[in-house]
Amino acid sequence: MTSLSRRSILRGAAALGGATLLSRPTFADERLPVLRAAPTSAQLAPAGYPSTPVWAYATEATGTVPGPEIRLGAGERVRFQLVNGLPQATAVHWHGIRIENAMDGAAPLTQAPVPPGDTFDYDFVAPDPGTYWYHSHNRSTEQVARGLAGPLIVEDREPWLGEPGAATRELVLILDDWLLDSDARIIEDRWDDLHAASHGGRMGNTVTVNGAANPELDIQPGERVRLRIINTATDRIMPLSLPHLSPQLIALDGHPITPREVETLILGPAQRADVVIDGRVDGDTRAGLLLDPGNGDWLEIASFVHSGDSLPLRGADVRPLPAWGTLPVPDLSYPQTEMLLMEGGAMRGMREARFDGKTMGFRELAANGMVWAFNGAASQMDEPMFRAALGRMVRLEMTNRSMFPHAIHLHGHHFTVLSRSGAANMEGDVRDTVLVGADETVDIVFVADNPGQWMIHCHMLSHQKAGMMAWFEVA
């Protein structure tokens, strides 16, 4: 078994530079806050370039990229009326939140896409603290690439900020990847680029942090800050580094971990990491957030500018985040074991797979826009990959027989990684999205405690569109 080494990740990243609920109008007396999706513009490219036409979410009059931060406490409700001001149907997925199936926003499985000019009401409890996000889940290869994503922050139940060993404040950092032309416009004729889809996906040429190119972030010398980092890119895996800032990892995909030092942080699309940093006290006034775009040449995508008096150091030990206390403990005595075999893509391909009710050879599959498969089926949405009884322990053995890594996301559940996955995962980590490297097998386990029909797919959205999408049922 080949591990997911940093080299294999970068090779993949560098390959390119059910029942449905009908949408319904809201009655006037419900008065839900509005979350509008509509065209607007944003200054994504550096100064001197024109603004970029984008699609964005808005709770005020004008949309922003990223979308407005939604922040609440654990156990509180998220309540919004989605108003679709786009020329396409859309839906909102609340990524990583263990919510009721009808509110998951996974069109077309859990709801019908919301047509232009129509609305849909989202109303659910966010049970677990952590760093999450929301994004389009209809035609998402295009709609997320146009800007439809934003942060969803669920605050800790118990005090953490300001406590001994903890940070004194936090910053939310939304990392995104844009494919822009020389006029800073999104290149729009490559949504169906099968060459990109069969490799690492649709890679951009501009990386933004909170919607800006290389922003400057203020920090005091010696200040301890919690960074909530979210990779909202459609396809790009992001190896990150925070030199001179003593970074320590404290949570993955919203779930707390025992604090550990991290030299290189690898975030696949949709993955999140909470990292504690300490402002430098060596007299230098700058430190960078660095990204390796896949060629080993680290680029600065944001800078921390130090100013003010030095703060007292808070010590080497970082205070752990409060435990969730709501996630069932895995019991591997008698698990239901399921398999997920990933095949396809460039340089290896697959001989045949089922699609649209028939078995096709690779050429016919490609003619239908399918170049990837789960368990011998491409975009199999007519029946579940597997079924599990409510409360059943499920062990899922995921084997990648392709030349590229994949970010596999389970809706409605968090899972525990059983086997170490190279540089990207640690055994025992709890996540909702896991990177599986080329020729690697990764085992995960979860309690199927959330009833409904749940998507499982690759969050390299080009791969999802080209066949890596399925669902499982908990009943």
Give per-residue pLDDT as tens, 38-79: 999 999 999 999 999 999 999 988 899 999 999 999 999 999
With 0-12 / 13-18 / 19 or more C-beta atoms within 10 angstroms meaning exposed / middle / buried, residue 281 is middle
User: What integer pLDDT is reported at residue 327 of this predicted model?
Assistant: 86
Which tens digits make up the pLDDT trace of 215-263? 999 999 999 999 999 999 999 999 999 999 999 999 999 999 999 999 9
Tell me what pLDDT residue 313 has.
Answer: 85
**Residue 4's pLDDT is what?**
42
Structure-token match 């049922």, residue found: 473
Residue range of the domain that includes 350: 336-474
Residue 26: what pLDDT?
A: 40
405 found inside a domain = yes
| pLDDT digit string, tens, across residues 372-412 | 999 999 999 999 999 999 999 999 999 999 999 999 999 99
The pLDDT score that the predictor gives to residue 22 is 35
Torsion of CA 363, 369, 371, 376, to 10 degrees: -90
- State the pairing for strand pair 430-431/372-374: unpaired
> For residue 66, is the peptide bond before it cis, meaning its omega torsion is within 30 degrees of 0?
yes
Distance in angstroms (rounded) separating the CA atoms of residues 80 and 77: 10
pLDDT attached to residue 426: 86
- Is there a domain that residue 431 lies in? yes
Give pLDDT, residue 419.
Answer: 76
Element (H, E) at 10: helix 6-13
pLDDT of residue 6: 43
CATH number at residue 430: 2.60.40.420
- Whose tokens are 């980590």? That residue is 429
Residue 29 has pLDDT above 80, yes or no: no
Query: What total of structural domains would you count in the chain?
Result: 1
Single-letter amino acid code for the residue at 25: P
Strand order in the sheet with 238-241: 216-219, 299-306, 286-291, 238-241, 265-267
Per residue in 297-323, pLDDT (tens digit) is 899 999 999 999 999 888 889 999 999
Q: For the chain, give me the number of helices (H) and strands (E)?
A: 5, 32
In a domain, 385, yes or no: yes
Q: Is residue 246 part of a domain?
A: no
d(CA 108, CA 34): 22
Contact 62, 54 (CB under 8 A): no
Decide if 352 is inside a domain: yes
User: Does the pLDDT of residue 439 top 60, yes or no?
Assistant: yes
How many whole angstroms separate alpha carbon 407 and alpha carbon 237? 9
| pLDDT value, residue 30 | 62
In whole angstroms, what is the distance from residue 430 CA to residue 434 CA? Answer: 10
Helix (H) or strand (E) holding 367: helix 362-367
Does residue 313 fall inside a structural domain?
no
Tens digits of residue pLDDT in 112-133:
999 999 999 999 999 999 999 9
What is residue 28's predicted lDDT score, i.e. its pLDDT? 40
* 463 within some domain: yes
User: What's the rounded Cα separation, in Å, for the pair 239 and 266?
Assistant: 4
Query: Is the peptide bond preceding residue 108 cis, with omega within 30 degrees of 0?
Result: yes
Per residue in 149-168, pLDDT (tens digit) is 999 999 998 999 999 999 99
Classify each residue of 160-197 as buried b or exposed e, where b means 16 or more C-beta atoms within 10 Å of its C-beta. Answer: beeeeebbeebbbbbbbbbbbeeebbbeeebbebbebb
Band of the pLDDT at 2, cuts 50, 70, 90? very low
Looking at the DSSP assignment, which residues form a beta bridge with residue 160? none
Q: What is the pLDDT of residues 194-219, one digit of tens each?
A: 999 999 999 999 999 999 999 999 99
Closest CA to 129 of 170, 179, 92, 101: 170
Q: By the 8 A CB rule, do 66 and 54 touch?
A: no
pLDDT of amino acid 420: 63
β-pairing verdict for 130-136 and 119-125:
unpaired
| Alpha carbon of residue 295 to chain centroid | 23
Q: Looking at this protein, which amino acid is placed at residue 469?
A: M
End-to-end C-alpha distance for the chain, whole angstroms: 34
Write down the pLDDT at residue 94: 98
pLDDT > 90: what percent of the chain?
A: 85
Taking CA atoms, 132 is separated from 142, 213, 457, 461, in Å, by 21, 22, 18, 18
Cβ-based neighbours of 180, under 8 Å, separated by 6 or more: 44, 45, 52, 186, 187, 204, 205, 206
Domain for residue 134, yes or no? no
Where residue 3 falls among pLDDT bands split at 50, 70, 90? very low
Tokens read off for 346:
């460039």
| Residue range 440-461, pLDDT digits in tens | 999 999 999 999 999 999 999 9
For 319-338, write each residue's pLDDT tens digit: 999 999 888 888 888 999 99
Q: How far apart are CA 57 and CA 37, in angstroms?
A: 5
State how far the Cα of 377 lies from the Cα of 360, in Å rounded to an integer: 10
Task: Round to whole Å and give the CA distance between 20 and 266.
Answer: 36
Q: What angle do CA 93, 97, 102 make, to 5 degrees?
A: 55
pLDDT at 19 over 70: no
